[in-house]
Amino acid sequence: MTKQAQGVCPNCKADHDISYGVMEILDGNSVYFFTECHNCGTTWEEHYTLGFDSQEQIEKPSEK
C-alpha cells in the first residue's frame, strides 16, 4: 500500500500545482476537498477529521 500524505498527489507524488475545490461536509466532524494535480491530471478526494481548536471572540453579556 502506498503511503498517503496531505497535499501530495497519490499518482505522481507532486507536492506542488495541487488545486483544492470547495470543502464538502460529510458529517459533524468530517470534511473533504475535491483535489486535482495539475502536474499529471489525477483527481481525488482529500478527507479530514475536524477537532476542537479554541474559543475566540468571546463577549460576556455585561461587556456588550
Q: Average pLDDT for consecutive 10-residue bins of the chain (64 residues)?
A: 85 95 91 96 95 91 78
Specify the pLDDT at position 46.
Answer: 95
Residue with cell 502536474: 39
Specify the pLDDT at position 62.
Answer: 87
Specify the pLDDT at position 3.
Answer: 79
pTM: 0.74
Specify the pLDDT at position 11.
Answer: 95
In order of 1, 13, 25, 32, the CA distances from 36 in angstroms are 21, 12, 18, 13
Q: Give the cell for residue 43.
A: 483527481
